Each structure stands twice: as C-alpha cells, then as structure tokens.
Structure 1
Amino acid sequence: MRRGYSFKNSIAFVFLVVSSCCFLVLMISMLKVPDAAPGNGAMPFYKKVSDNVNSLGTFGNMMLQMLPADLAFTIFVPSETAFERDLRLRANDSLVGEKMSDTYAVISRILGFSAVPRVLESAMVGAGEELSYDALSGFTLFISKDVRGRLVVNGVKSDKVDVRRGKLVVHIMDGIIMDAEFEQSVQPDFDEDD
C-alpha cells in the first residue's frame, strides 16, 4: 500500500511541474517582451513608434507599396513636410492628371536612394559609430546618431524611427535622401510663385 501511494504522488508532481511550465510559457508569450538588439547583447530601452497607417503619409505609403512585401528592407521615408518643402509634392495636386506619372517617377527614384535591402533598427547604430550601406540604386548611405540619439543619414535627421510594416523597418526622415545630380534636377524654379 505504501508503494502505490508514492507512485500517485510522483504523477501528481510531474503533472504540476508540466502545468506550471506551460503556464509560464503562455504568460511570457502574452507579455510580448521586446527582442534583444542583435550585436550588443543588451535590451533596447527606447520607445518605438506605433505602426500607424497615417504616420507615413500618402507618398511614404506609395514608397512602401513599391517594395516586395515578403523581403526585409529598411527604408528612410521622407516626412510629408519634407516632400512638400523639398520637392514641392502635395498629395492633393501631385497625384492628379499629368502630374501623376511624374510623381511616381520621383517617388521611385527617392525609393532607390533611401531603401536598404536589410533590417536596420535604430538600436543597431551605436553612439559615435558610423555605418555605411549601399541603397538599392547603389548610392552609399552613411548612418550615425546625433547627440540627441536621432538617426542621421547623409546629413538628414530622423523624425520617427523603427516603424514596423511586416518585414519592413521604416524610419521617417526630416528631409530627402538623394544624390547631387537628382537634387539639381528637382530644384524648384526661382521665378515660380508659391
């Protein structure tokens, strides 16, 4: 009789341990703990921007639609303000009539200068470190952080970082990343009225 009693207790003990482990795994997965940043072994303690559909604006969303959804890219998308200020593109009049094909050409060219075929989150760029990657067009991007911790790509500072869209990592920039030749071609005419 003593032998049967200890057998029942060991089954109860194993059941209790397995149940506890399953509950613990379930709780950890529900908490959605952030992943550790690759390379530095530390947890990133910065606030990520929520994935808001309107945070990229019309032209930013157009840029993302030009990329394949099943591949990992990092894209430095200009803000709506930067599109209007630097390229004079406005969502209400640049996507109508004859201007639509010109706007798509400009947006696709900007995409070539600002998309990198790899994942690059802001935590992967160390303070005082400068990384360089080739964009889709072959244009070299020099990526660093300023004293406030914002990403700086070829002199253009970020407004928001680490917006996730599936496999894409999007950084919203306060300017347009482009080479000198393309910059000359999109310079506004000085005799044009605003």
Structure 2
Amino acid sequence: MRRGRSKSPIAFVVVIVSVSCFFVLILSILRLPDVSFSNGSRTSINFNKISKFTENSDSLGKFGEMMIEMLPHDLSFTIFVPSETAFERDLRLRVNDSLAGEKANDTYAILTRVLSFTVVSWKILSESVSYTEEITCDSLSGLKLHVSKDADKMLVVNRVRSTGVNMRKGDMVIHVMDGVIMEAEFEQSVRSGDGDEDED
C-alpha cells in the first residue's frame, strides 16, 4: 500500500504557523486608523455589497476566491490577488488537480503563504495612486510592496501588472494581478517544487 502523505506533515506545520502569524497580525492592526489618500481627503465608498471591477477586469478564479474568504470582510484591507492564469502559470495550481485529495492541504498552505505577501492593512484604490509617485507599503508578511500606476490606469506592484482594479467585498479592495507577488525565497522553493513534480 502506497503512503502518499510524506508532504502532509510539512504542509500541516506550514498551515498552522501561517494561520497563527496571520491572526497575530490581524489582532495587531485592529486599532489602526483608516488611511487618507493622496489629496488628504478621506474616501467615502459604499463597501456593503460585492461590486464588480470599475475598470477593465479579469475575473477572480477559485484560488482567488479562496484567498479572499480567508480574510475578515469587515476590516480595511487591500489584496493583490493573482489571476487564475497566474496561479496556473506561476504556481502550477490547477483547480481540478490541486484541490483533489491530499494535494488540497499543500494547496491551502501555498495560498496562505501567497496571501501573506499580497495583503496590506489599508485601502489602496487605483485613483489614490498618482502617475508620478510610487507608494511603498509592507504586506502582512513584511514584504515591501512598491505600488505605481501605468498609462492604462492599471496598478503595478513589484513589477507585476494588474488586469483588473477596484473590486470591493465587504471593506476590502481587491486588485487582480497578472502574476504572483512573492518573496524570492518562496519563489525559489516553488520553482524547485516544480522539478520534483515533473519527475513523478
């Protein structure tokens, strides 16, 4: 009988550590004030309903929806969610395969880690980013994010361009990205994992 759970204990530990760190960070930002935008005025936007993108959009895939569901909807966050294409291209995650059986735990661990790189604890709307200045902020994991806007009004974060901006759910602002924002060490581990998968 084949035992296919060699990665499961590692995935379980990664999930537990990631979730613990995430909740500590959530608790630490609960008292942060809402942030004013570029002209010093506060935004007054209705976040009660899920809204569609206000500019050209790429839809959220299953993995993006899973990431969003991991966050409380009543807190002010911005999340830079990889598009469905980016999940498949950059992380080799496919809905029909990566959520099946014992792969689901590893996939959940990867999504949790990506979430920590792509969430900031305040709202960043595309209109609050000027064409001439870059916003620098820290993600929940501490990764530095450099946010700018290109001529097509799309956001660019750490050289990854958005394909859709300004989607809202609860008190969150969601931007869909044509790539996965991640730190170099995690990216290297993902790439080395791809080699292991190819050998099977």
TM-score for both structures, normalised by structure 1: 0.72
Structure with the bigger RCO (C-alpha within 8 Å, sep 6+) is 2
Counterpart of 2:86? Answer: 82
Aligned to 2:38: 39
Q: Matched residues, percent identical?
A: 55
Following the alignment from structure 2 to structure 1, what is the Cα–Cα distance between the partners of residues 113 and 196? 23
Q: Deviation of residue 190 (structure 1)?
A: 8.4
- Hey, what's the Cα distance between the residues in 2 that align with 1:39 and 1:138? 23
What corresponds to 1:189 in structure 2? 195
Residue in structure 1 matched with residue 137 of structure 2 by the alignment: 133
Task: Give the Cα–Cα distance (whole angstroms) in 2 for the partners of residues 102 and 186 of structure 1.
Answer: 12
- Corresponding residue of 1:171: 175
Task: Indicate yes or no: 2:99 matched with 1:100.
Answer: no
Give CA deviations for 1:2-52 in whole Å, capped at 9, x if unaligned: xxxxxxxxxxxxxxxxxxxxxxxxxxxxxxxxxxx94337x9xxxx716xx
Structure 2 CA distance for partners of 1:181 and 1:72, relative to 1, 3 Å: same
* Structure 2 equivalent of residue 113 of structure 1: 117
Amino acid paired to 2:139: A
- Listed as ranges, the gaps of 5+ residues in structure 1 are 1-36
- Measured against aligned partners, the alpha-carbon deviations of 1:106-163 in whole angstroms (never above 9, x if no partner) come to 0000000000011110001000210001000011100001232210000000000000
Alpha-carbon distance in 2 for matches of 1:122, 1:82: 21
SS of 1:171's partner is strand
User: Which residue does 2:14 correspond to in 1?
Assistant: none
Question: Are 1:144 and 2:143 matched, yes or no?
Answer: no
Q: Higher Cα Rg: structure 1 or 2?
A: 1
How far, CA to CA, are the matches of 1:119 and 1:38 in structure 2? 9
SS state at 2:198 partner: coil
Q: Root-mean-square deviation (CA), in Å?
A: 2.4
Distance verdict in 2 for CA 1:38–1:132, change over 3 Å: closer
Cα distance in 2 for residues equivalent to 1:149 and 1:169: 16
Name the residue aligned to 2:69.
Answer: 65
SS in 2 for 1:192: helix
Q: Which runs of 4+ in 1 moved over 4 A?
A: none
Q: CA deviation at 1:69?
A: 1.8
Alpha-carbon contact 2:38-2:129 (below 8 Å) kept = no
Residue 154 of structure 2 is aligned to residue 155 of structure 1: no
TM-score by length of 2: 0.70
What's the offset of the Cα at 1:166?
A: 1.2
Ranges in structure 2 where 5+ consecutive residues have no aligned partner: 1-35, 44-51
**What does residue 8 of structure 1 align with?**
none
Aligned length: 150
